[in-house]
Amino acid sequence: NVTIRLQYCKPKPTYTTFAGKMLNDLDRHWIQLKYKEAYARREQPTWKYQYQKHGSCCQTKYKQIPYFSLALRLKDRFDLLTTLRTHHIVPGSSYTFDDIFDAVKTVTQMNPDLRCTEVTKGTQELL
């Protein structure tokens, strides 16, 4: 059983910062929580990272704007935050991997590719 990870494909795409409606849509629906608002809107580190990591692998079909437009449409189709809330999974509490996995599966109808990684000693983050 082989797992193929579509990330960091070549050539590395050039990221162009967003402005206008797309910036506002991304800022409203794909919040960059790790950064202060002014810095996040100006530098767009989360979106740049995601595009260079995952968008690089579909750049022949989806350039930057279509890639993010598709991501926003998929977000509307699979509203994971609402799904998690429906399953009583809310920020600020701890849950098992299986709890989150099962909740996501109810909306995707397939086994989600979820993994945890250790971000600091003893602290894990869901990927």
Per-residue pLDDT tens for 50-93?
A: 999 989 988 888 899 999 999 888 877 777 778 888 999 887 77
* The dihedral formed by the CA atoms of 102, 105, 107 and 108, expressed in degrees to the nearest 10: 170
pTM, two decimal places = 0.64
My answer on whether 73 and 84 are in the same domain is: no
Domain residue limits at 50: 20-77
Residue 2: its pLDDT value, please? 47
What's the domain count of the chain? Answer: 2
Does 12 map to a domain?
Answer: no
Both 68 and 100 in a single domain?
no
